[in-house]
Copies of this chain bind each other. A is one copy, B any other.
Amino acid sequence: MSLIEDLQWRYATKKMNGQIVPQEKVDYILEAARLAPTSSGLQPFEILVITNKEILEKILPLAHGQRQVVDASHVLVFAAWDNYTEERINEAFARNNEERGLPSSATDDYRNMLLKMYLAKPAEENFTHAAKQVYIGFTAAIIAAAEQKVDATPMEGFNPAALDELLNLKEKGLRSVLLLPIGYREAEKDWLVNMKKIRVSKDRFITELK
């Protein structure tokens, strides 16, 4: 199936059946998120992969009782850097230059430009920028799941501060941004599964300037 067919196949699954997603498919979905592009290649986020039932039961009320959190096979928590720091930026560039066999100074001009830009901004603004990068990895994961015929439910609706506390994210310098339960649909109990997918018309969505 092509990407377009995968996008037509997927939907925000409302009811999952508890079936376990094979590890190689989970790995594939995570790999898509890892390979996704990000601003300056900094990859300012991490993913927590949660299968621990006790933790998931505690997440359930923080996600407004959305039962996919406990009916899914795995719940992916996408958490962004709480700030861009000198240490994080330097580490990313050091890694890149080392792996490319370049001197550590090869990217100094660009690195210094980024340091100057990010370190001058408030943490909240930098976090917002990092959170936007999360959406890129998140989308890659959603598409990877669809390609693998794994269902997924993209979720913005949860209490991020409470989740950060539950998962001790603050001490890791992270803040939760998005949840992605993955698993398999329980079609006969899912009110959305047979609904027509609705999108804005091409005419309204696209403007050509020729």
Report the bound CA distance from A147 to B55 in whole Å.
Answer: 38
> Main SS of the interface on chain A?
helix
Copies of the protein in its oligomer: 2
Least Cβ distance of A102 to chain B in Å? Answer: 9
- Chain A's interface size range is 35 or more
Least Cβ distance of A86 to chain B in Å? Answer: 17
Q: Mark A82-116, 1 if CB is under 8 A from B, else 0.
A: 00000000001001100110000000000000000
Most chain B beta carbons < 10 A, residue from A31, A47, A128? A31
Interface set of A (CB-CB < 8 Å, partner B): 2-4, 7-8, 10, 12, 28, 30-37, 39, 41, 43, 46-52, 55, 92, 95-96, 99-100, 128, 131-133, 135-136, 138-140, 142-144, 147, 154, 156, 167, 195-200, 202, 204-210
